[in-house]
């Protein structure tokens, strides 16, 4: 008898060990097997009255979850009562110099409100849409601050319907998605006016992607300043590229290939301006003797470029702080605006040595 019991114990232990090695069943697995959307599974298993599903679909989802052995995440079950006390901040790339202020503002506000802020790098999490679903719908965080321009409007709508605990930073999205933005149009207007006031008339705009909300608003500010100064934005003066250094380099080469060349450039991002300055240097263009430049967003890096770069300082820290405060209100059920534009402090021009009068 002792021998038989020992063999039985070994078999039980082996089965338990094998079960522990199997990957956990996720919401995505249940949704795929049941043939429905992941957000629908999340709502049905949480008995959310907002779930748009028939009784047959609800029964199929529950049967599938039981059959696959899905165990709901404890954090996800208690999302509405803030059990994890953790907030996620998804940004496109943690190496971006401008995000330090956003992170600081959000982290300070989160700490004051009793949360821990976890920063997620969108470039390391695969597709942004998948990353968001993993962070929110699987209950890893109580709520999410989205500073990722690669997220589709449909996904943000799905998330809002699933949890309501999402706030978008500096991106305007139609519908009911909560959002906090900075006044990009006015900031770029101020930067372009700085070049106009220095005497420049042929001013180019090194813009971001044409389908990105922040880029469109900055181009609008540039065109407004040009229009008020009585200057025409001719074909080729606005060049669209990404916001990174390599794109700024390529965009500047395109601008310098025009005849006549622009005498000044308003860059829609600091990173793009760094690449643009490198392109100008490689082409024998001296800043500001031959070409003046202003860049959108400020960071300590701008002081150490050659020459030090004139920038538009935006309220990034306040952007992060107000976004965290808005998310907190949603988590605890307090009323508040669904869309906020940070106006205090207002954008300012930080003058350095990259702006001078036009050559000749």
Asked whether 86 and 115 are in contact (CB, 8 A), the reply is: yes
pLDDT band at 301 (very low <50, low <70, confident <90, very high): very high
310 has pLDDT over 70: yes
**Which pLDDT belongs to residue 29?**
87
Determine the pLDDT at residue 22: 52
How high is the pLDDT of residue 9? Answer: 44
Task: Choose which CATH entry (3.30.540.10, 1.10.4190.10, 3.40.50.2300, 3.50.50.60) describes domain 80-182+316-342.
Answer: 3.40.50.2300
Half-sphere exposure of 218 (CA within 13 A, CB side): 33
Q: What is the tens place of the pLDDT at every residue in 155-174?
A: 555 555 555 688 889 887 76
Name the CATH superfamily for 2-72. Answer: lambda repressor-like DNA-binding domains (1.10.260.40)
Whether pLDDT at 104 is above 90: yes
Q: What is the pLDDT of residues 40-84, one digit of tens each?
A: 887 788 766 656 788 888 889 889 988 888 876 544 444 444 467
How do the residues of the chain divide into helix, strand and coil, expressed in percent and rounded to 5?
A: 45, 15, 40
The pLDDT assigned to 267 comes to 98
In terms of Cβ atoms closer than 10 Å to its own Cβ (0-12, 13-18, 19+), residue 49 is exposed
The number of beta carbons lying within 10 Å of the beta carbon of residue 239 is: 22
CA-to-CA distance for 177 and 183, rounded, in angstroms?
18
pTM: 0.73
CATH code of domain 184-314: 3.40.50.2300
Strands 116-121 and 238-240: unpaired
């Amino acid at each position: 008898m002792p021998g038989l019991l020992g063999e039985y114990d070994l078999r039980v232990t082996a089965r338990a060990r094998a079960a522990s090695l199997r990957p956990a069943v996720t919401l995505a697995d249940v949704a795929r097997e049941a043939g429905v959307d992941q957000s629908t599974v999340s709502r049905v298993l949480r008995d959310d009255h907002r779930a748009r599903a028939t009784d047959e679909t609800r029964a199929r989802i529950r049967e599938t979850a039981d059959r696959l052995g899905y165990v709901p995440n404890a954090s996800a079950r208690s999302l509405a009562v803030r059990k994890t006390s953790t907030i996620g901040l998804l940004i496109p790339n943690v190496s971006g110099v401008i995000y330090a202020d956003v992170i600081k503002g959000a982290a300070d506000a989160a700490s004051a409100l009793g949360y821990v802020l976890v920063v997620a790098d969108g470039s390391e999490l695969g597709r942004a849409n998948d990353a968001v679903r993993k962070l929110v719908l699987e209950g890893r965080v109580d709520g999410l601050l989205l500073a990722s321009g690669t997220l589709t409007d449909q996904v943000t709508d799905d998330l809002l319907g699933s949890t309501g605990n999402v706030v978008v930073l500096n991106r305007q999205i139609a519908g009911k998605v909560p959002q906090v933005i900075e006044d990009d149009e006015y900031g770029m207007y101020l930067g372009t006016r700085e070049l106009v006031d220095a005497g420049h008339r042929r001013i180019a705009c090194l813009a971001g992607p044409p389908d990105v909300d922040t880029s469109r608003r900055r181009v609008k500010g540039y065109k407004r300043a040009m229009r008020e100064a009585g200057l025409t934005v001719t074909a080729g003066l606005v060049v669209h590229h990404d916001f990174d250094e390599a794109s700024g380099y390529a965009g500047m080469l395109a601008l310098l290939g025009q005849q006549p060349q622009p005498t000044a450039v308003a860059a829609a991002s600091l990173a793009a301006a760094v690449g643009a300055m490198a392109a100008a240097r490689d082409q024998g263009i001296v800043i500001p003797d031959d070409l003046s430049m202003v860049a959108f967003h400020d960071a300590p890096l701008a002081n150490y470029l050659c020459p030090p770069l004139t920038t538009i300082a935006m309220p990034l820290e306040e952007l992060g702080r107000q976004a965290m405060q808005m998310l907190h209100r949603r988590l605890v059920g307090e009323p508040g605006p669904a869309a906020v534009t940070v106006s205090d402090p207002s954008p300012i021009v930080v003058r350095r040595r990259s702006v001078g009068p036009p050559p000749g």
